[in-house]
Amino acid sequence: MITKTHIQTMARYNCWQNQSLFREADALGEDERRKERGAFFGSIHRTLSHLIWGDMMWMHRFSGSPLPENIAIGESGELVPDWQDLKARRSDMDAHILKWADGVAEDVAEGDLTWFSGALGREVSKPKGFLITHFFNHQTHHRGQIHAMITAAGGKPDDTDLFFMSDKIEHRAL
């Protein structure tokens, strides 16, 4: 069962992991962040940009926040081409996700959510709890790719195991 506490925990985990990845990616430099590394979105930068796009899509569906610019999923790696802008937008998105998580009702995962999927080209309806799980799983999936790319480039991001997360994780600017 998806509870408010679970959603808050996953929002904190998202924030913690993003802080780690952006710290290490920042230290790598532009060329290393842009280097093609064989991941689905190619580079560290493009994968981080796709994550912003995906988070914006899901937060729009969950909370009514703004959609990303009119960019299809295949171009989502180019949503935020500037590194400083990407850091600022990631920080803003993490703050938004934390605020959303703190404000959800206990029954947030009940019922279905219906939306038009551009990827599928049709209307889709799925249980909200399933979609909230997908939202956090999508983040974890792509952050795992980013973690591997950063590690291969010589960076040392924090461990990713959920139980290593401190109870004192707080949002901070990247």
The string of pLDDT tens digits covering residues 119-142 is 888 999 999 999 999 999 999 999
What pTM did the predictor assign? Answer: 0.94
For residue 128, give the nearest of 100, 149, 108, 151 by alpha carbon: 108
Domains in the chain: boundaries: 4-164
pLDDT digits (tens, 9 = 90+) for 81-113: 999 999 999 999 999 999 999 999 999 999 999
Dihedral Cα 4, 7, 12, 18, nearest 10 deg? -160
Confidence of residue 76 (pLDDT cuts 50, 70, 90): confident
CATH of domain 4-164: 1.20.120.450
The Cα–Cα gap between 80 and 57 comes to: 15
Q: How far is CA 123 from CA 17, 30, 119, 126, in A?
A: 32, 39, 10, 10
